[in-house]
Amino acid sequence: MRIILCGFGVVGQSLVKLFVSRSEDIYAKYGLKPRVIGVFDSKGSAVDSSGLDLEKLIEVKKKFQTVKKYANTKNNMSGIEMIESLDADILIETTASNYKDAEPGMTHITNAMKHKMHVISVNKGPLALAFPSLMELAIYNQVMFKFSGTVGGGTPILDYAKNSLKGERITSFAGILNGTTNYILTNMANGLSFDAALKDAKDKGYVEADESLDLDGLDAAAKLVILANWIMDMKVTMPDINCTGIRKVTTEDIKKATKNKCAVKLIASCNRELTVAPKEISIDDPLCVNGTLNAIAFTSEHSGTQTIIGRGAGGMETASSILRDLLDIRQEISRT
Ligand code: HSE
């Protein structure tokens, strides 16, 4: 399978490392031979239509902080040029999420679909702003569109709700979908002030480059949009979410919750309304996880409430979700 990889940050590099370390096993078990024929980062690109040497790619990135020096050529294709000129089967979109115009991910994804490439995205921006129209575009162009890493990272939350609960009618769900704010709120419950907890989260590298994405609830809202569209068949985008972040949570709020055997958590919920807001939940609720963990509870008509808990971020975790999507695409192609 010929792949164009958009973005070569932590997730992109983890994916390539996963391809290197698991190549024999992935081929033996699933018959999948991923060939990365083009990759670009913010400074440049590397292209080889017969497949890039992945170990060399990682070395070059480590040494020069860009893949641009992979070959001694002046040829430095942009992402769009790559999509338009390379004969690839799959586009993997890992550039940073933005919720203003979703670029450059939106252009990568829509162009790839128009060029009949299947798309895997871990970039949440395009889905948050245009989920319904991206789905239509994929159907119109008869390509597959996968995005299991956008919610829950390596924890297969979307697959669980869509496939394991097949036939069920999910009536509502609520979850902690942002690890960074959960880490901050956990530390506040352990006695730290908001500022000290935020600083610690920053020092550990958890906070997004634009801290507002975590603190103002935008990341959780984007994940809620994806869940609502994919699982509840709602046709919604970011402006439909009633969103409040954690900036106004005070030490007093936390202390009051502790007294009530509760904790304050940033909860994304779908129960008639779509809301992201800090809420008190009982410490005995399975949803009440600590640190950077994510958790989500699905309530369905006949099978009650089930809670899934797992890590919602991380390079290797997210890379493993991309591999999952790739294997799904491989399987669906071989069925047709
Ligand atoms: N900033 C996100 C989080 C990363 O803290 O959960 C994963 O989307």
pLDDT in tens, 118-140: 999 999 999 999 999 999 999 99
User: What residues have CB less than 8 Å from 149, skipping those under 6 apart?
Assistant: 11, 122, 318, 321, 322, 325
Q: Tokens 């099978």 belong to which residue? A: 303
Contact at 8 Å (CB) between 274 and 224? yes
Statement: residue 188 has pLDDT above 90: yes
Return the structure tokens found at 194.
């908001």
Return the structure tokens found at 123.
């970039």
How much distance in Å is there from the Cα of 159 to the middle of ligand 1? 19
- Ligand 1: residue of 177, 211, 219 to mutate (most ligand atoms within 8 A of CB) is 219
- What is the per-residue pLDDT across 56-72, written as a single tens digit (0 to 9) for each? 999 999 999 999 999 97
CATH architecture of the domain with range 157-311: 2-Layer Sandwich (3.30)
Cα torsion 257, 239, 154, 184 to 10°: value is: -30
Statement: residue 168 has pLDDT above 80: yes
- Ligand 1: residue of 206, 213, 296 to mutate (most ligand atoms within 8 A of CB) is 206
Q: So what's the pLDDT on residue 72? A: 77
Please state, in angstroms and rounded to a whole number, the distance separating the CA atoms of residues 167 and 300: 10
Nearest CA to ligand 1 atom 7: 313
Contact at 8 Å (CB) between 174 and 267? yes
What proportion of the chain, given as a percentage, has pLDDT over 90? 95
Ligand 1 nearest atom to the CA of residue 318, by list position: 7
Statement: residue 55 has pLDDT above 90: yes
Q: Is the Cα dihedral 9, 218, 314, 330 positive or negative?
A: negative
Ligand 1 nearest atom to the CA of residue 220, by list position: 6
CATH classification (class only), 2-154+315-335: alpha beta
Decide if 223 is catalytic: yes
Task: Looking at 86-193, list the stretches that DSSP marks H as alpha helix, in order from N- to C-terminal side.
Answer: 105-114, 125-140, 157-159, 179-189
Pairing mode, strands 304-311 and 273-282? unpaired
Return the structure tokens found at 169.
């009618």
Q: So what's the pLDDT on residue 74? A: 67
| Domain boundaries of the chain, sorted by first residue | 2-154+315-335, 157-311
How much distance in Å is there from the Cα of 227 to the middle of ligand 1? 15
Q: Which residues line ligand 1 (CB under 6 A)?
A: 178-180, 206, 208, 214, 219, 312-313
Q: Looking at 69, 223, 248, 259, which residue is catalytic?
A: 223
Q: pTM for the full model?
A: 0.96
The 3-class SS string of 57-104 reads: HHHHHHHHCCCHHHCCCCCCCCHHHHHHHCCCCEEEECCCCCCCCCCC
Please state, in angstroms and rounded to a whole number, the distance separating the CA atoms of residues 168 and 294: 23
Please state, in angstroms and rounded to a whole number, the distance separating the CA atoms of residues 310 and 250: 27
